[in-house]
Amino acid sequence: MIVYNSIDNITCTIFDSVMDKRDYSLLFKNKMLYKILNKLFKKMLDIFLFKTWEKIHDEFIDTFGISEQYKRYMDLMNDALEHYNNVYNEGKRHELVFAQIKEYEAEKCLKGVKKNENIYSQIARFTGFRINPSTITVREFYNYVKEAQGNG
């Protein structure tokens, strides 16, 4: 396979980078081949990589679920969007302040999420061996996380 296409073969490092940067080209294992194909078939390749990422992300959510913090973040962002809708579609300019407050609360909610580097070291302490995010797959890592959470 020339691209990462599952949580069973994508490493944590690649997964985290795609999540942070939304750079789907990172899904390609061979960067030189990506450059050649991108010159020839840019639009098709962009669609293919986006759909591949959607598949990986959906598989992740189906397998491991969504954290409570992320659910809270999404609820707050939806509230903010409703306020923005009222500002721009109904002319209720005073709701701009409410929208900005909801956005601020949403961002604050995510600031409490631990960085993966901390999680890697915590899981390493639990398992008794070093976790290398460049080699461990997403499925392997999150199975360790679930096991660690189950054991307190």
Reported as a single tens digit per residue, the pLDDT across 66-82 is: 877 778 888 999 999 99
Q: Are residues 113 and 53 in the same domain?
A: no
Confidence of residue 106 (pLDDT cuts 50, 70, 90): confident
> Average pLDDT of 113-117?
56
Residue 5 in domain: no
Q: Which domain holds residue 46?
A: 12-64
Q: Classify burial at 91, counting beta carbons within 10 Å of its beta carbon; exposed 0-12, middle 13-18, buried 19 or more.
A: exposed
User: 24: which 2 tokens?
Assistant: 């789907």
Which of the four pLDDT bands, split at 50, 70 and 90, describes residue 1? Answer: confident
Is residue 135, in this structure, part of any structural domain at all?
A: yes
Q: What is the pLDDT of residue 122?
A: 79
Indicate whether 4 belongs to any domain: no
Is pTM beyond 0.75? Reply is no
Instruction: Say what the pLDDT of residue 117 is.
Output: 59
Q: Is 80 exceeded by the pLDDT of residue 86?
A: yes
Asked if residue 144 belongs to a domain, the reply is yes
